[in-house]
């Protein structure tokens, strides 16, 4: 409906009122209870006060839908319901006659019964295709059209601007004790309290009451500050027909569920019907009110309840996330999270838990890379594997984990790749160079096809190659590592040419030697990841939550890490995203049940993310990588780490020590 506005003859600005229409909300249980009877049946619907949520980022109030359903218990409406046996009958139904019949009953209740009981009357026609579980339905919420249109003097304003808090609190208490869809309000003589009565008692209640103290209120299902809800239309018709007046003071009551101490959300305004003399309404006005479908056109809607488990699962799995956005974080960008493609290097304990948490956040693209097979010690610690996966030598971990994700939720796009990642300190024999080259090319292709890379491997040196590739390709790199009762979760900083502000460290920035072989000659206890059983799930969940916080930050991969804070201090401006701060590193200490956020600056001689290493990789490709795998000192010589000791010695020698000073004291 268009917004109407014009200037009155006395020069005061009168703005046409836009009434927020009802939006039907039908519970699935209603459709399951439908019968094939075509008899007209009267059923009840209800609505509550308008709801809104506060955007935690901007502080703005965001209005939710103006819904009419059968679950609330405040304003009520009487519904004429007619179900048809065939789709042809549904399409051929005389909707104009049905609509006119309902409006006649509303008009009769106004002019003959002088009652407001039928003002919210509405119509529902349906057809139930029980073979396909499809339900066609069309709601009508009849509302009379005023000519000339109703206008608001100035604009709607907060009710607390017109009434004091004690006055509104008394109305609130009365409405909670005995809810009314429409009611009258006047100040009590000699008191600061209100008196309330049904609208039907208008003449007696407002006798000897000055017009500026007469207030007509209604339960408003709208939460939009400048747009009252649909019930006001028929209420104004009722008033104009039975109690014509130049203007009406309207209270849009919206505070049925106000938290203690919260400000009132109700609105107030003075409305009038154009300029000139007040004419008494004698004939039934025209009416509007057929609900539009999801395409925004006048036509029926369809509820498809076909028992397709995959489709039902797809709609249900994200329910928790949608409730988070609806009730708590309206600015939460769920689509950005769902569209993030995640590559998990490692399908062990960390990989399994990371994958499950990513699915909980709605991520649909998850790829595993691992060269190991499921062993008998794995299923109790790694939740994507079962006992049968260990038989006959064990299934490949990557493919098995991907298949298990699809069994948990068929809508996930998961795959597994058996791949050995070449590592520094592990020389490649000449006969294996071609295979290593193929493995590197496969890893590069996988990195290009994903947005985020999780480093979840067992050894330190196995993380070097994806660290270099991730920095070169500008990918988000998340790292998680476990000790016995400690863990590290971190996000890698970007390469110098892409950094905005201070550049953060990667996994290798604090090392003064290149990564080397840490696997050879290890004993059994050293080869197995000996950690407290609950540690992996804590670290994996922390890594995923850190990623999602990063994705929701406006600066994305360049989100600044918060500086150290004292207890109770607020984070600095710009360091928080929708979900709060985005730390650089989190070190967890399970023995103390404590997490420590750490921020580190990148090192220009780092063997993993320095510009020297990245450019050598980009220009020389596999040739450079082969030297890093085979030559122990290559990375140290490339970055200048080999000169670090000599530079330290030279710095000490440059100090002007006075050997003679203080000899007399000994």
Catalytically active residues, by annotation: 528
Residue 16, classified by CB atoms within 10 Å of its CB into exposed (0-12), middle (13-18) or buried (19+), is: middle
Phi, psi for residue 55 in degrees, rounded to 5: -70, 115
Please check whether residue 485 is in contact with residue 497, taking contact to mean a CB–CB distance below 8 angstroms.
Answer: no
How many Cβ atoms from other residues are within 10 Å of residue 189's Cβ?
8
d(CA 538, CA 559): 23
d(CA 153, CA 271): 6
Cα 48 to Cα 63, 219, 303, 475, 636: the distances in Å are 14, 7, 23, 47, 69
Residues contacting residue 87 through CB under 8 Å, at least 6 positions apart: 127, 129, 136
For 358, left (φ over 0), alpha (ψ -120 to 50), or beta?
A: alpha
d(CA 618, CA 355): 31
Torsion over CA of 346, 349, 353 and 354, rounded to 10 degrees?
-30
> Which helix (H) or strand (E) segment is 537 a member of?
helix 535-552
- Which two structure tokens, joined as six digits, stand for 162? 């017109």
* CA angle centred on 361, ends 357 and 367, rounded to 5°: 65
Residues contacting residue 647 through CB under 8 Å, at least 6 positions apart: none
d(CA 146, CA 142): 13
d(CA 545, CA 553): 12
Helix, strand, coil % over all residues of the chain, rounded to 5: 35, 25, 45
Please check whether residue 509 is in contact with residue 637, taking contact to mean a CB–CB distance below 8 angstroms.
Answer: no
Closest CA to 398 of 421, 369, 377, 376: 369
Question: Across-strand partners of 76?
Answer: 46
Beta-strand ranges (E) seen in 465-584 are 476-482, 486-491, 576-577, 580-581
Tell me the pairing of strands 182-187 and 215-219.
antiparallel
Q: How many helices (H) and strands (E) does the chain have?
A: 19, 29
- Which two structure tokens, joined as six digits, stand for 654? 């440059």
d(CA 620, CA 603): 22
């Amino acid at each position: 409906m268009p917004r109407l506005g014009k200037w009155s003859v006395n020069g005061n600005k009168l703005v046409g009122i836009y009434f927020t229409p009802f939006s039907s909300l039908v519970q699935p249980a209603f459709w399951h209870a439908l019968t094939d009877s075509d008899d007209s049946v009267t059923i009840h619907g209800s609505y509550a006060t308008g709801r809104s949520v506060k955007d935690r980022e901007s502080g703005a109030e965001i209005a939710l839908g103006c819904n009419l359903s059968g679950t609330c218990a405040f304003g009520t409406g009487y519904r004429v319901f007619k179900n048809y046996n065939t789709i042809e009958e549904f399409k051929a139904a005389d909707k104009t006659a049905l609509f006119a019949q309902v409006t006649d009953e509303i008009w009769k209740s106004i002019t003959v019964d002088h009652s407001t009981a039928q003002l919210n009357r509405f119509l529902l026609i349906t057809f139930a295709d029980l073979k396909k579980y499809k339900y066609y339905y069309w709601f009508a919420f009849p509302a009379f059209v005023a000519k000339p249109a109703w206008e608001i003097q100035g604009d709607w304003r907060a009710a607390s601007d017109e009434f004091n808090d004690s006055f509104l609190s008394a109305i609130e208490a009365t409405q909670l004790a005995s809810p009314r869809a429409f009611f009258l309000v006047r100040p009590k003589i000699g008191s600061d309290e209100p008196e309330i009565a049904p609208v039907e008692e208008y003449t007696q209640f407002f006798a000897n009451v000055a017009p500026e103290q007469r207030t007509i209120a209604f339960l408003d299902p709208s939460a939009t500050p400048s747009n009252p809800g649909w019930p006001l239309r028929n209420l104004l018709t009722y008033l104009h027909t039975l109690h014509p007046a130049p203007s009406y003071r309207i209270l849009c009551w919206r505070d049925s569920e106000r938290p203690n101490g919260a400000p009132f959300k109700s609105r107030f305004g003075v409305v009038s019907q154009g300029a000139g003399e007040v004419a008494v309404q004698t004939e039934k006005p025209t009416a509007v009110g057929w609900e539009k479908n999801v395409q925004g056109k006048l036509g029926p809607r369809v509820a498809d309840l076909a028992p397709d488990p995959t489709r039902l699962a797809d709609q249900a799995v994200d329910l928790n996330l949608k409730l988070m956005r609806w009730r708590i974080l309206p600015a939460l960008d769920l689509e950005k999270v769902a569209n993030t493609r995640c590559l998990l290097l490692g399908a062990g304990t960390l990989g399994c838990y990371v994958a499950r948490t990513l699915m909980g956040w709605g991520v649909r693209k998850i790829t595993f890379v691992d060269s190991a097979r499921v062993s008998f010690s794995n299923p109790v610690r790694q939740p994507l594997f079962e006992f049968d996966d260990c038989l006959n030598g064990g299934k490949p971990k990557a493919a098995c984990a991907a298949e298990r994700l699809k069994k948990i939720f068929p809508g996930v796009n998961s795959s597994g790749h058996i791949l050995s990642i070449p590592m520094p300190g592990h020389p490649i024999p000449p006969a294996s160079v071609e295979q290593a080259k193929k493995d590197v090319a496969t890893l590069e292709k996988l990195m290009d096809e994903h947005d985020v890379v999780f480093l979840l491997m067992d050894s330190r040196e196995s993380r070097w190659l994806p660290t270099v590739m991730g920095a070169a390709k500008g990918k988000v790199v998340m790292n998680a590592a476990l000790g016995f009762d400690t863990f590290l979760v971190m996000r890698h900083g970007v390469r110098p040419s892409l950094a905005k502000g201070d550049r953060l460290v990667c996994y290798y920035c604090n090392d003064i030697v290149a990564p080397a072989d840490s696997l050879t000659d290890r004993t059994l206890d050293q080869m197995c990841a000996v950690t407290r059983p609950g540690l992996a799930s804590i670290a994996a969940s922390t890594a995923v939550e850190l990623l999602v916080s990063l994705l929701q930050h406006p600066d994305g991969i360049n989100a600044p890490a918060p500086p150290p804070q004292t207890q109770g201090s607020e984070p600095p401006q710009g360091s928080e995203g929708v979900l709060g701060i985005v730390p650089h590193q989190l070190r967890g200490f399970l023995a103390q049940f404590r997490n420590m956020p750490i921020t580190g600056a990148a090192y220009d001689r780092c063997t993993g993310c320095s510009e020297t290493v990245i450019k050598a990789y980009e220009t020389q490709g596999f040739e450079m990588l082969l030297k890093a795998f085979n030559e122990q000192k290559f990375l140290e010589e490339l970055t200048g780490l080999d000169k670090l000791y000599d530079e330290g010695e030279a710095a000490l020698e440059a100090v002007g020590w006075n050997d003679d000073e203080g000899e007399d004291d000994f």
